[in-house]
């Protein structure tokens, strides 16, 4: 049976998570209406229905909130990416659907991603995405080779001296393609992006597995 202290801590954690989610939703709504640079703490607090002081209890400024919201969404998106494997050079419906959903989710919150991944964006977010994609690619290659998962990989852990060139190359390529697509206003549909991106991803995997 949980103690009163444990219950209070758990309740407090839930309140913090709810507040974070409420502020993130408010920001996502606002960033689709105007540029991130034109959104103030007051704007977010008013849209979220909280006070400015409540906002500052959790974040220093709007940019920190935007970075937190973006990295959290990216982590969820990366977990949904397809795994390359034998015979997948020609994408299956399941593979293309998974990759299309990845691009569709980027487009859904395109305003935020464009602001943080564009020329004047956030190095912290770009580095977070690069590292998370790199780790995800590395683990998918290990799984395809029948190797056990690497310790700490699920949480995105990475050693500074552990340079996996194919994984880093793939991560950089995926970020570059996604960023270019977003900054150009998503001229191709998510399904088209999936169809164009998967053969490149699969070809790299095949080269690594030789």
> What was the pLDDT predicted at 157?
46
CB–CB of 65/24 below 8 Å? Answer: yes
Same domain, yes or no: 47 and 92: no
> Mean pLDDT for the chain?
79
Copy the structure tokens of residue 120: 């004047």
Split into its structural domains, the chain has a count of: 2
Determine the pLDDT at residue 147: 64
At which of 59, 93, 109 does a domain end?
A: 59
Chain segment 57-92, per-residue pLDDT in tens:
999 999 999 999 988 888 887 777 665 554 444 555
- From 59, 83, 109, the end of a domain falls on 59
Instruction: Name the residue range of residue 14's domain.
Output: 1-59
Domain co-membership, 104 together with 20: no
What backbone phi and psi angles, to 5 degrees, belong to 114?
Answer: -65, -40
* Digit-coded pLDDT (tens) for 138-161: 776 666 666 665 555 444 444 445
User: What is the predicted pLDDT for the residue at 1?
Assistant: 46
């Amino acid at each position: 049976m949980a103690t009163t202290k444990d219950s209070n801590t758990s309740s407090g954690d839930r309140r913090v998570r709810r507040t974070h989610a409420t502020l993130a939703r408010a920001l996502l709504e606002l960033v689709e209406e105007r540029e991130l640079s034109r959104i103030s703490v007051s704007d977010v607090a008013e849209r979220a229905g909280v006070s400015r002081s409540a906002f500052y209890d959790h974040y220093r400024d709007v940019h920190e909130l935007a970075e937190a919201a973006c990295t959290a969404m990216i982590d969820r998106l990366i977990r949904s990416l397809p795994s390359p494997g034998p015979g997948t050079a020609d994408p299956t419906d399941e593979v293309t659907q998974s990759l299309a959903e990845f691009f569709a989710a980027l487009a859904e919150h395109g305003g935020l991603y464009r602001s943080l991944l564009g020329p004047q964006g956030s190095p912290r977010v770009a580095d977070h995405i690069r590292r998370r994609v790199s780790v995800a690619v590395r683990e998918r290659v290990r799984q395809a080779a029948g190797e056990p998962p690497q310790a700490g990989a699920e949480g995105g852990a990475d050693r500074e001296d552990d340079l996996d060139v194919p994984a880093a190359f793939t991560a950089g390529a995926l970020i570059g393609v996604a960023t270019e697509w977003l900054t150009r206003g998503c001229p191709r549909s998510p399904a088209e992006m999936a169809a164009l991106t998967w053969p490149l991803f699969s070809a790299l995997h095949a080269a690594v597995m030789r």
